[in-house]
């Protein structure tokens, strides 16, 4: 399974900043350590079997070209990021220090999602070891999301394959409001989001299907809702491609997610989704989404576990 990554996904932030930038290099190291270049003995072998190492490869990316980014975002907004000239309210909303280096870092992340998109169409499953920046709108960023990588990839696909039906499967703990807004009028894109109703973002934008859960929902209730709502929407829409924004923030020890999923619940979530997309042979690009565990290393472990699980479902 092909994964895409760049060391500069980790952008330097002050130590006290709440965004855990270190999760990108930490997770990549865990994925590298937990994987093998050799083909797996069985495509569905359990991860806890030490004899088994999922097979994957990690590839570098270059920043996404501006003309692709401009298919979604306004030039004014990109200039405000590049020159660090966001007004104080917009800067607060974004939560990251706007500057040219941040824009370049965000273009790298977009490139990883673009590469994973095309790899998924060829191979079935592929990952960007970042991405899923679903709170970004065309003319502003919010919630640590500068550019909307999924929207840019969908717009790029639709240039050459306008008929392609795309399912955005968002299991991050927060609603994918930016992506919902961008594709609100596009019947070729189905936006599914399962999230806490009374949590960030305060103002929601309706998607094709929003599954709103109560604060501090437990794993059993979460999985019941996921299983009851996802498959019917998925089969009804019959997508040609899935973007799965996995999200590590539904975890019980996350600072912002307000859900109570355990590590075992994450395994069940991931396996449910991976079974659905692989049994139906639906190409799927897997992206990180958010993760703000009180234990920073744990955030990286959750992201890495999702990628390694996906590799066990991969059939070349
Ligand atoms: Zn989130």
State the chain's mean pLDDT as an integer: 94
pLDDT given at position 54: 73
CA–centroid distance, residue 257 to ligand 1 (Å): 6
CA–centroid distance, residue 173 to ligand 1 (Å): 5
pLDDT given at position 35: 78
CA–centroid distance, residue 160 to ligand 1 (Å): 31
Tally of CB atoms within 10 A around 212: 15
Q: Six-digit token pair at 208? A: 């094709």
Contact yes or no for 243/287 (Cβ under 8 A): yes
pLDDT given at position 37: 56
* Conformational region of residue 95, where left means phi above 0, alpha means psi within -120 to 50, and beta covers everything else: left
Contacts 24+ apart (CB under 8 A), 259-265: 259/173, 259/196, 259/213, 259/216, 259/217, 259/222, 260/216, 260/217, 260/218, 260/219, 261/218, 261/219, 261/222, 262/219, 263/302, 263/305, 264/219, 265/219, 265/222, 265/223
CA–centroid distance, residue 52 to ligand 1 (Å): 31
Contact yes or no for 121/142 (Cβ under 8 A): no
CA–centroid distance, residue 244 to ligand 1 (Å): 13
Q: How far apart are CA 149 and CA 133, in angstroms?
A: 6
pLDDT given at position 47: 44
CA–centroid distance, residue 251 to ligand 1 (Å): 11
Q: Six-digit token pair at 152? A: 């840019």
CA–centroid distance, residue 199 to ligand 1 (Å): 10
CA–centroid distance, residue 115 to ligand 1 (Å): 23
Ion ligand 1: residues, Cβ under 5 Å: 172-174, 249, 290
Contact yes or no for 26/297 (Cβ under 8 A): yes
Contact yes or no for 278/310 (Cβ under 8 A): no
CA–centroid distance, residue 274 to ligand 1 (Å): 20
CA–centroid distance, residue 195 to ligand 1 (Å): 9
CA–centroid distance, residue 197 to ligand 1 (Å): 12
| Per-residue pLDDT tens digits for 244-262 | 999 999 999 999 999 999 9
Tally of CB atoms within 10 A around 185: 7
CA–centroid distance, residue 200 to ligand 1 (Å): 8
pLDDT given at position 52: 46
β-pairing, 166-170 vs 209-213, is unpaired
| Per-residue pLDDT tens digits for 134-169 | 999 999 999 999 999 999 999 999 999 999 999 999
CA distances to 20, 37, 65, 249, 291 from 300, rounded to whole Å, are 9, 21, 28, 11, 8
Give the residue-averaged pLDDT of 118-146: 98
Determine what percent of the chain is predicted with pLDDT higher than 90: 90
| Per-residue pLDDT tens digits for 34-71 | 876 544 444 444 444 443 457 899 999 999 999 999 99
pLDDT given at position 316: 61
Q: Which CATH superfamily is domain 2-7+20-35+42-315 in?
A: Histone deacetylase domain (3.40.800.20)
* pLDDT higher than 50, residue 9: yes
CA–centroid distance, residue 168 to ligand 1 (Å): 15
pLDDT given at position 116: 98
Q: How far apart are CA 152 and CA 107, in angstroms?
A: 10
Q: How far apart are CA 75 and CA 295, in angstroms?
A: 38
CA–centroid distance, residue 291 to ligand 1 (Å): 6
pLDDT given at position 39: 47
Q: Is residue 121 classed as helix, strand or coil in its secondary structure? A: helix
Locus of tokens 């870092």: 105
Contacts of 193 (CB under 8 A, 6+ apart): 170, 172, 175, 176, 180, 207, 209, 210, 211
CA–centroid distance, residue 248 to ligand 1 (Å): 8
SS3 labels along 236-291:
HHCCCEEEEECCCCCECCECCCCEEECHHHHHHHHHHHHHHHHHCCCCEEEECCCC
pLDDT given at position 195: 97
CA–centroid distance, residue 258 to ligand 1 (Å): 10
Omega cis (within 30) before 201 = yes
CA–centroid distance, residue 9 to ligand 1 (Å): 18
CA–centroid distance, residue 144 to ligand 1 (Å): 10
Locus of tokens 């596009």: 186
CA–centroid distance, residue 37 to ligand 1 (Å): 31
* pLDDT higher than 50, residue 314: yes
CA–centroid distance, residue 45 to ligand 1 (Å): 30
| Per-residue pLDDT tens digits for 206-215 | 999 999 999 9
pLDDT given at position 40: 46
Q: How far apart are CA 106 and CA 134, in angstroms?
A: 13
CA–centroid distance, residue 44 to ligand 1 (Å): 29
């Amino acid at each position: 399974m092909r994964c895409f990554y760049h060391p500069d996904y980790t952008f330097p932030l002050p130590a006290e900043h709440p965004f855990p930038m270190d999760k990108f290099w930490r997770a990549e190291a865990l994925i590298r350590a937990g994987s093998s270049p050799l083909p797996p003995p069985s495509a569905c072998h359990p991860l806890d079997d030490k004899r088994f190492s999922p097979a994957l490869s990690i590839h570098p990316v270059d920043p996404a070209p501006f003309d692709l980014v401009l298919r979604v975002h306004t030039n004014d907004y990109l200039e405000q990021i590049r020159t660090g000239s966001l007004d104080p309210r917009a800067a607060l909303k974004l939560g990251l220090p706007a500057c040219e280096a941040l824009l370049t870092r965000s273009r790298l992340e977009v490139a990883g999602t673009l590469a994973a998109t095309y790899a998924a169409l060829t191979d079935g499953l592929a990952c960007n070891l970042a991405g899923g920046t679903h709170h970004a709108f065309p003319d502003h960023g919010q919630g640590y999301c500068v550019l909307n990588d999924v929207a840019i990839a969908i717009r790029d696909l639709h240039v050459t394959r306008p008929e392609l039906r795309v399912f955005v499967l968002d299991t991050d703990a927060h609603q994918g409001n930016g992506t919902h807004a961008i594709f609100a009028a596009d019947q070729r894109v189905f936006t599914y989001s399962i999230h806490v109703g009374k949590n960030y973002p305060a103002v929601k934008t309706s998607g094709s299907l929003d599954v709103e859960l109560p604060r501090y929902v437990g794993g059993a209730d979460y999985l019941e809702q996921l299983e009851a709502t996802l498959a019917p929407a998925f089969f009804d829409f019959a997508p040609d491609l899935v973007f799965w924004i996995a999200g590590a923030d539904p975890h019980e020890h996350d600072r912002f997610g307000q859900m109570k999923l355990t590590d075992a619940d994450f395994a069940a979530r991931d396996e449910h989704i991976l079974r659905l997309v692989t049994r139906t042979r639906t190409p799927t690009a897997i992206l990180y989404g958010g993760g703000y565990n009180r234990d920073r290393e744990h955030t990286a472990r959750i992201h890495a576990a999702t990628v390694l699980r996906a590799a066990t479902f991969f059939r070349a």
